[in-house]
Structures are given as structure tokens and as C-alpha cells.
Amino acid sequence: MTLDLTPLAGERVVLRENHPLEGRTTLRIGGPARVFAEVEDTSALAALLRFAAERGLPVLPLGKGSNILVPDAGFPGVAFVLAGDFSKVVIDGNVVHAGGGASLMSLAVLTKNAGLKGLENLSGIPSSVGGAIRINAGAYGGEIFDVLREIELVSRTGDVSRVDAKSIRWGYRWTELMERTDIVTAGVLELESRPKEEVDARFREVTEKRRNALPKKPNAGSIFKNPEGRYAGKLLEACGLKGRQVGAAQISEVHANVIVNLGGATAADVRALMAEMQAAVRERFGVELVPEVEVL
Ligand SMILES: Cc1cc2nc3c(=O)[nH]c(=O)nc-3n(C[C@H](O)[C@H](O)[C@H](O)COP(=O)(O)OP(=O)(O)OC[C@H]3O[C@@H](n4cnc5c(N)ncnc54)[C@H](O)[C@@H]3O)c2cc1C
């Protein structure tokens, strides 16, 4: 049954029905969303959330799809990305205002070019700013909450609020925002002015490390979080799982904590592989691996 989308006419939103989500995820997996929207401002976001709530449709905010496993059956509600105004970045001295839909990779390049230190360790993470804030993305000893000062949130009823980042509890690949339903629509970062060559040197170092650490085939980065004091990749490698395949999903030969899509893999393939990985590590080390990737 098609939906009457006319209540959203006049809002800055691009709408598509039965839109495949595989192209919206870095794993290249996922069936269609009943409605897929690119929302361009706060008014459109509030209207879209109201539209979904009034029709009892579930809502899925998507960033760059780099940490999510969308089911093969798709999503039976309204999936949306933040675009337009939400993609803007404004650099004011050493303070950076970034929309939740902006690319973290582009933000790291922009700030590096402005001689601002603080995002080099996160360069190369294919995330949105909103997605990175929600999970406290991090790498090589740095996390986004290290430099985050303020967060803009939109509640499911469309109310906008700005909160001090210090008021939000956060930890390793976790923030309390993951337990809430708010949409992260912007962040204010405070970086440090440094000589450009210095920022550039660290940026290049991180880029080089990343190039060698991850496979080139479609993937969602680390599948499991590192258990306290250990590396999930090392535990999985010790279980001899590199190269193990279910359907067209394979545990990467490059990194045992990464699953790659060899072409045509399904979400069911990935879930089956994840269950095998957890069982192997549980049996051999008595450790319960916790997914980092969001399994819808
Ligand atoms: C090659 C590769 C390398 C990676 N390296 C790293 C790394 O070094 N460090 C690291 O931390 N992560 C890494 N990741 C994982 C991933 O990039 C991060 O978890 C990222 O922050 C996810 O952001 P996203 O915008 O892609 O979110 P998505 O994958 O689109 O969504 C993830 C979850 O966040 C929710 N969400 C997304 N945007 C919003 C929003 N604006 N408001 C509220 N909820 C939202 C979604 O509903 C979903 O539940 C890597 C991934 C890949 C593919």
C-alpha cells in the first residue's frame, strides 16, 4: 500500500518510497525502506517525525551507514538522512559548528587545512558527524568526545535542544545517546590552533596506518567491541577464523574483526558469521563479544 505523502509537501525534504538501503550502507546490504527521506532543515525533520508518529511508522535515522546491518527484508517505516542545512560546517577561529549530516572525513580534512588539531586520529572514519557523536567514535587514542563541547538534539516530537557535552555520559564506543531516541543534528567542537605542518604530519600518519589496517571490500569496520584489556581481532584470529565464509560474507583475511561483503552477501549471512565468531571466542576464551555494529 502506498502512503499519502502530501502532508509533507512544502517542507525541505526529498522523499522516496520503497527505496533500497543497500546503497546507503558501507556493507552494501539491506532491503528497502518503506519511505526514505533526505531532510534538509529542522522544520522538515519535525514534520517527518510527526508524519511517522501519526501513522505508527517506526523511524530510522541513518548517517553514512558505516556501522549498521540492515535486514534483507528492509525497514518497514521511515528511514532518513540529514542533508541540506544539517550538512553545513562553519569554522570560527578554533571553534567548529558541524551539522549532524556532515561527513566526519570531510570535517577532518577541512579542520586540518585550517591548521586545527583534534580530529587527525578520526580522519578516515566514514561516519557522519551525528553518528560519530552518538557512539563516541574514536581511533588511535582519540575520541570525538575529547573535543566536543555542545550537542544539538531533536526529540521524536521535533523539539530542538542544545546540551553541554559534559552533561552526556560517554565511554568506549558508547554514549547515553545510544539509549535515547533523540536525533543528533549538530555538534560544536573546540580544536587547537597549531602549525599546519604539525597537523598534516599526524593526519598523514593516521591515513597510512588505516590504509594497511582495513580491507578494501565493503565492510562496516569492527564488528565487535574490544573486550576490556583485549583486542577482539586478536581473539578471533587466534580462533583461526580469518577467511571463514558464510554465503558471500567473509571474515576478512586482513582483519579478523571485520566482515567483508564479497558481492551479494545478505544480512542473514553476516548474522550467521557473527554468531559463529561469538561462539568460537566464548568457547576458547570464555569471553562474550559484544557487537559494535548496530544490528537492526
Ligand atoms: C572502513 C570503516 C572504518 C571504521 N573505523 C572506525 C574507527 O576507527 N572508529 C570508530 O569508532 N568507528 C569506526 N567505524 C565504524 C563507524 O564508522 C562509526 O561507528 C560511525 O560513527 C557510524 O556513523 P554513521 O554515520 O555511519 O552511522 P550509521 O551507521 O548510519 O548508524 C549507526 C547507528 O547510529 C544511528 N544514527 C546515525 N546517525 C544518527 C543521528 N544523527 N542521530 C541519532 N542516531 C543516529 C543509526 O540509527 C544507527 O543506530 C568504521 C567503519 C568503517 C566502514
Q: What is the CATH number of the domain that holds 15?
A: 3.30.43.10
Annotation marks residue 22 as catalytic: no
User: One of 12, 16, 156, 173 is an active-site residue; which one?
Assistant: 173
**Ligand 1 geometric centre to CA of 9 (Å):** 30
* Top mutation candidate among 68, 119, 127 for ligand 1, by most atoms within 8 Å of CB: 127
184 and 270 share one domain: no
Is 225 part of any domain?
no
The rounded distance, in Å, linking the Cα atoms of 83 and 62 is 11
- Measured from the Cβ of residue 293, the count of other Cβ atoms closer than 10 Å reads 19
Q: Could you tell me if residue 224 is inside a domain?
A: no
Q: Is 292 a catalytic residue?
A: yes
Ligand 1 geometric centre to CA of 139 (Å)? 13
pLDDT of residue 13: 97
State how far the Cα of 236 lies from the Cα of 259, in Å rounded to an integer: 12
Catalytic residue among 103, 123, 222, 252: 222
The reply to whether 145 and 192 lie within a common domain is: yes
Do residues 163 and 134 make contact, with C-beta atoms less than 8 angstroms apart? no
**Catalytic pick among 38, 120, 152, 292:** 292
* CA 116 – ligand 1 centroid, Å: 23
Q: For residues 215 and 271, give the distance between their C-alpha atoms in angstroms, rounded to a whole number.
A: 19
> What pLDDT does 1 receive?
67
The alpha carbon dihedral of 110, 113, 114, 119 has a sign of positive
In tens digits, the chain (296 residues) has pLDDT values of 678 999 999 999 999 999 999 999 999 999 999 999 999 999 999 999 999 999 999 999 999 999 999 999 999 999 999 999 999 999 999 999 999 999 999 999 999 999 999 999 999 999 999 999 999 999 999 999 999 999 999 999 999 999 999 999 999 999 999 999 999 999 999 999 999 999 999 999 999 999 888 899 999 999 999 999 999 999 999 999 999 999 999 999 999 999 999 999 999 999 999 999 999 999 999 999 999 999 99
Q: Please identify, by atom number, the ligand 1 atom nearest to the C-alpha of residue 220.
A: 53
Does residue 1 fall inside a structural domain? no
Whether 38 is covered by a domain: the verdict is yes
Quote the number of domains for the chain: 3
Cell numbers at residue 280, please? Answer: 568460537
Q: How far apart are CA 42 and CA 152, in angstroms?
A: 11
242 and 127 in a common domain: no
Decide if 226 is inside a domain.
no
Which atom of ligand 1 is closest in space to residue 100's alpha carbon?
Answer: 41
User: Residues with beta carbon inside 6 Å of ligand 1?
Assistant: 26, 60-68, 82, 100, 125-128, 130-132, 134-135, 137-139, 173, 183-184, 214, 219-221, 294
The reply to whether 144 and 249 lie within a common domain is no
182 in the same domain as 153? yes
Could you say which of 85, 110, 139 is where a domain stops?
85
Q: Which atom of ligand 1 approaches the CA of 292 most closely?
A: 19
| Pairing, β 75-82 against β 32-39 | parallel
Q: Ligand 1, residues 29, 121, 125, 181: which to mutate, most atoms within 8 A of Cβ?
A: 125
Look at residue 57 and give its three-state secondary structure: coil
Q: DSSP letter for 255, please.
A: -
Retrieve residue 79's grid coordinates: 528511514
Instruction: Show the domain range for 113.
Output: 88-213
In a shared domain, residues 29 and 56: yes
State the CATH number of the domain containing residue 241: 3.90.78.10
Collapsing DSSP states into helix, strand and coil, what is residue 162? strand
Closest ligand 1 atom number to CA of residue 82? 41
Atom of ligand 1 nearest to the CA of 130: 41
Nearest to 83 by CA among 127, 128, 20, 30: 128
Output the pTM of the full model: 0.96
Best CA proximity match to 98, nearest among 133, 51, 47, 48 = 133
